Amino acid sequence: MSDKQKTIKNPVSVKGSGLHTGQNGTLTFRPAPGNHGIKFKRVDLEGQPVIEANIDHVISTERGTTIGANGARVFTIEHVLAALTGLGIDNVLIDLDMEEIPIQDGSAKYFVEALQKAGTHEQEAEKDYIIIREPISLEIPEKKIRILLEPAEQFSACVVINFETRVLGEQVARLQRMEDFPEEIAPCRTFVFLHELEFLLNNDLIKGGDLNNAIVFINRRVSQKELDRLAELFDKPKVKVKPEGVLNNLDLYFENEPARHKLLDVIGDLALLGRPIKGHLTAYRPGHHINTEFAKIIKKQLND
């Protein structure tokens, strides 16, 4: 049975603000020919430079994955790349009129929904899989980090996180098959600890953030005065801490939503290899830096 590449049938747009830059703009997915891959076009810049979603173009992994080429860059690409990978879409041109992907609710849900609305189109070109024939691993023992990719008939993943706090200890998330991504992984939102949020706010690093962008974990005692200040900063009438140590700005979709979001991030970062993977991924304490370093190792082994 053949396995053909896919693009989308119709253009579709998602509007919103960037989490870190605060810029408001529009992202538009457009159909692309076979073997085109995923590329971003900065339509707001002179010459409308195009940046291929390629691991060699990663220029930063601080608070998200940023790529740059041809004098342009795009921030926080991992959620949109995860959405495309999760739906098996190989070829698309993404017009962007600002330098950061809209954060929406901090998940891949809105990108998945837009792409599903656009519909998919099977193309003549065959999918070009990365087939894992021997285990590939990366380990940083002092940080208790390990990523392993092993041979398998299709892509599957297991992600383990552990922040060693009362409110967020060890969690495990699994994806048995990519077809389950839209329901099981895509809605899972990013998360942050209160002390990280305060640092980001004080350093003007989340200009587009509000309390609908992330799950906020509280791992220390917080006074009502601090909570009132937080509510004022984010223009909320009132916030409080739930018994499980999460701000009451939202409800969790899954008990292990943070681990599921980390799995989402891994899928998005590995999409920078430009080809779908047939292999089983196990990741302990992944993050954008380790994900992209692992992708470079995979690429190097494939080229050797």
Q: State which H helix or E strand residue 196 sits in.
A: helix 194-202
Q: How far is residue 2's CA from residue 19's CA, in Å, rounded to a whole number?
A: 40
Largest CA distance in the chain: 63
Active-site pick, 57, 79, 280, 288: 288
For the chain, report the end-to-end CA distance as a whole number of angstroms. 30
Backbone φ and ψ for 113, nearest 5 degrees, come out as: -65, -40
- Identify whether 280 is a catalytic site residue: no
Q: Sign of the CA dihedral 110, 40, 213, 13? A: negative
Which among 83, 167, 175, 142 has a CA at the least distance from the CA of 285?
142
Angle of CA points 206, 173, 88, to nearest 5°: 80
Angle of CA points 14, 178, 144, to nearest 5°: 95
Q: At what angle do helices 257-270 and 288-303 cross, to 10 degrees?
A: 40
Could you give the residue numbers annotated as active site? Answer: 288
